[in-house]
Amino acid sequence: MEPGRSGHDMDAVAHAASALSVDGVNGPRHVAIIMDGNGRWAAQRGLPRIAGHEQGTENIRRITHAAVNLGIEYLTLWAFSTENWRRPVDEIHGIMRILSEAIQRETTELHRQGAQLRHIGSLEGLEPGLRAGVLDAIELTRNNSGLVLTLAFNYGGRQELLAAVRDIVSAGIPPGEIDEETLARHLFTRDIPDPDLIVRTSGEHRLSNFLLWQSAYAELYFTPTLWPDFGPEHLRAAVEDYARRDRRFGGIKSTSPVLSDS
């Protein structure tokens, strides 16, 4: 439970998120979030960076609940990138510890709620306890039919594409038979739809190597709100913004008059 929040408060948050939901027909089916700003959140409060990561991890719970109430079917959260290994060793160890504890603490409740936990990225190089915790959580929730919660941990978009190409080469698929569907089948996300909406917190306006192939037609939403402060009302605002957009995928509106042949 979040620090300072009672069970009644969490129920109120869930009710508020439900009340703020938009028409499920227009809403995104798959939302992916770049959870950015933990360090800055801590710095603003004179706290060590690891305190920001702890608060950011706690925030996952309320955003997961809000996603369900907004009718989102797939939620992908970027928790640790392949580039994050460049950070100080103490911070990396702290992040690993926090995630390991969160998985142990939250998996039973996620399973009870019917959520399915997945992972994209590489489990190589992770501490044995964390790796085992991730695999156990995936196995426990494998057959659940509720929200599909995917953690992108030790993940990088370019690394994913390289892995896919290597798999295709290893499979001996002739070049002439390789198309977009072939590549998509060899991605980490092969079993889930591409994201409709990608949200990045903290005010940065870039994807930073996140879901590079899958984001080709995704709507992007950038907010200055730091991840630990990103609540159900912010997720609602992103979903409502998405619902107002005109997604044509390179075409034109069927109701738009044809002005020229160009």
DSSP string, the chain: --TT--HHHHHHHHHHHHHT---TTTS-SEEEEE---HHHHHHHTT--HHHHHHHHHHHHHHHHHHHHHTT-SEEEEEEEEGGGGGS-HHHHHHHHHHHHHHHHHHHHHHHHTT-EEEEES--TTS-HHHHHHHHHHHHHTTT--S-EEEEEEEE-HHHHHHHHHHHHHHTT--GGG--HHHHHHTSTTTTSPPPSEEEE-TT--S-SSSSTTTTTT-EEEE-SS-GGG--HHHHHHHHHHHHHS---TTS--TTS------
Which residue in the list 9, 11, 36, 209 is annotated as catalytic?
36
Active site residue 261: no
Active site residue 196: no
Which residue in the list 84, 136, 209, 241 is annotated as catalytic?
84
List, by residue number, the catalytic residues.
36, 84
